Structure 1
Amino acid sequence: MVSRWELGNVYGSGMEKCKCLYIDYKGTARKFEQKRKEADLTQEMMDIFETLPNLGKKQLYNLEVLNVCNYPNERICLKILPDSIGNLENLRILNLSYNDLETLPKSIGNLKNLEELNLSENNNFSELPDSIGNLGNLHTLSLKHTYLKSFPESLGNSENLMSLSVSWYRRYDSSDYQCCDVFNGSMKHWSCPTMEFNSDMKSVSLDLSGKNLKQIPLGVYMLSEQGRWLNYGCNSSSNRYVYIIPALKELDVSNNQLTKIPHLLKKLNQLEKLYIHNNPDLNHLPDFLWEMRSLKELKIDGKLVKYLPNNAQVSLNDKNFENVALDLALTKNNRGKMSDDQLSNKTGPYTVYLKK
């Protein structure tokens, strides 16, 4: 660990082998004021401490973990991440929490090996660059207590993204519905219908069938029930639980161009029905679906039957199909009698019920 005040003195000297760097901002403002009394330090000099020195590729080539720490009420903290952050090609973990960042440089997309990015408690953080979608190895993104206004839909390209944590910093008691704005912004990006939210909505259903979607809009993952208590008087009986964002109970993304079911779907912990039939390039059902406690009903194409768990019960929507097709589905085992294409053509969509 090195203090931000001392960083300039040690940077570049023997750091070529450094794999973990912890930069501590604690006491930087106090140290600056002490030195200001001894020398003629200007505001421009103070501004230097609100960013980092040039992160040269040669000096920090082996760096895997960068943690820039700050503490509450510190007057000097990280406000601008330099473009040179993109030089740290081997970086796996980047923790920038508890600072005062508003955005990230486009060069963040160069960090192809980045797995974890923590931007929580940056109260003025409002925008992620489109280049965030280049982080193919990113699996954890934390944006708790930020002021995020929208998601770049390029983030949906991050195939390994498993954890997306978002909550909003409520400024002057005015932004309860920030989450709803982000949701509707994501819907507009894909030319999908937006939604009118009100404080009494506890759950919703979403029909996104036939929208030519190549991925599930990121805003959908925000539909996980969140709420807070409002106190309308001195008597506790007058308190009321207001829903800021409702829970998604039913999602129809059939008749689209989806190629995968992303792990982020697991965030929808109250989802009961999922319709994913007639996505021609969707050829696999992930195991995490069976871990979703609320999920009770699926609608899938015949080629996906082989991925069903043992507790699944299957029925045909269309009773005119051949009995042999139904038998194949109920056994959940093709046994080589038909190719996946044949099974898909002869059976179409199955309703799957999951025992809980």
Structure 2
Amino acid sequence: MKAAVLNQIGDTKLELREDVRTTEVGPREIRIRVRATGVCHSDLSAMDGTLPALAPGIIGHEGAGVVAEVGAAVEHLAPGDHVIVTFVPPCGACPNCLRGQPHLCAVHAIAAFTSPRFRVGDTPVFGYAGLGTFAEELVVPAEGAVKIPDDVPFEIAALVACGVTTGVGAVLNTARVEPGASVLVIGCGGVGISVIQGARLAGAARIVAVDPVPDKHELARRFGATHVTAPEGLAALSAELTGSMGFDHSFDVVGIPATIRSAWDNARRGGTVVVVGAGRADAMVEFSAQELFLHDKRLLGSFYGGANVRHDYPRLLELWRAGRLDLDGMISRRLGLDEINEALEALRDPGTLIRQIVLL
């Protein structure tokens, strides 16, 4: 089959090959025929080493498709089912799952770094984050797919697999933004736009979007921001809207020390700071012991939006059906498999707005 292969970490382009095959389907696994995959900035982060990945490997972690084959022990899925994949399949039995934090389940996540999902000739090839959606087919644990209604377009479903769940979940699950709150969102890419939509869904009264790229400002307004500014205008806007007291909830959707620090500095005393952006392991953020004590702020990480995929995927699709979550507007371009490198190159431009979708 066709797949886009990352030959080594640090490569800026993927090699499109036609001689890739999946591993055999195990008793508790399924084979999925991928129909759409989002091109996410995390894929670039895997390629350049910002996020952990193995090479050779198949990048892509945001996808949807049709079940083609199920293992002998799989009972809840059948060939022909439409599904969304997840890069954190909840096993349902580990301590994290049992305490109600299935997004932190490490059972299948660890297996993703020890069990190759593909082969090219005799060479084992890993799937990024246990998936590898830049391939025409993939084999995953049965827990790694959530059945969806057949009438949901695959490109809409693919968005839910990562970016939308991460952004909306950071608001509803992690921060638990309350109606009437003031919200600051730093970074207006695809996940940032999802945070803005989540804040709108939660009933936030003021949603301030910050991004250095002017083209993203009108886009942020379209998806629910009440105010927009470049970073250098944030202090004046905070003074105008909050009397320089700061915002109730502040979201960093970039993941670098400067923006995380800005999110902290612009949250009010007693407010909540949520780090959504995926940063480098060696990127350090500095706080004084005194300010952590005196300011009484909550500093929270938000991995995968704190999602319970079996609950949150259907909930997000229902919000989309009701017209309260704009997913159609988040698709900037629909591409073919051969155009993956073009889409990745576009994401390297900070002016790139929303998601590229590859239809396989």
TM-score w.r.t. length of structure 1? 0.28
Which structure shows the bigger proportion of residues in strand conformation? 2
- The structure where helix makes up a greater share of residues is 2
Larger Rg over CA atoms? 1
TM-score, length-scaled by structure 2? 0.28
